[in-house]
Amino acid sequence: QVQLQESGPGLVKPSQTLSLTCTVSGGSISSGSYYWSWIRQPAGKGLEWIGRIYTSGSTNYNPSLKSRVTISVDTSKNQFSLKLSSVTAADTAVYYCARDREYSSSSVGMDVWGQGTTVTVSS
């Protein structure tokens, strides 16, 4: 049973870089054909996809965040990470990591989620 766990600072100062890590347990991050995604949710609002990384290391990013986002993978640690630069209060949210599965060429779904971690941007 694959499980995901987010970790990182809960408080980040404006203009600094938010850094989070998602640790995969119960399976190898390199096995299977999965994308590994980051999603965020401001309080009281909907889900926003941030970006994803494939096991090969290729990435896709939300165009609205692309200039500030970097997602990387460390297969030796079974982890993938998110860096979001130049943060503002608008980046305050619960951040989730998730396994993004392609069931077929026309069917995708995020079948495993972390519990989420709250990040507040404030001085």
Partner 1 sequence: SSELTQDPAVSVALGQTVRITCQGDSLRSYYASWYQQKPGQAPVLVIYGKNNRPSGIPDRFSGSSSGNTASLTITGAQAEDEADYYCNSRDSSGNLVVFGGGTKLTVL
CB of 94 to partner 1, least distance (A): 9
Distance from C-alpha of 22 to C-alpha of 3, rounded to nearest angstrom: 10
Provide, rounded to whole angstroms, the least separation between the CB of residue 107 and partner 1: 4
CA atoms within 13 A on the CB side of 62: 15
Tell me which of 20, 39, 84, 87 binds partner 1, using CB under 8 A: 39
Whole-angstrom Cα distance, residue 56 to residue 62?
Answer: 19
The verdict on 80 binding partner 1 (CB under 8 A) reads no
Chain residues in the site for partner 1 (CB under 8 A): 37, 39, 46-49, 52, 60, 62-63, 96, 100-101, 103-104, 106-111, 113-116
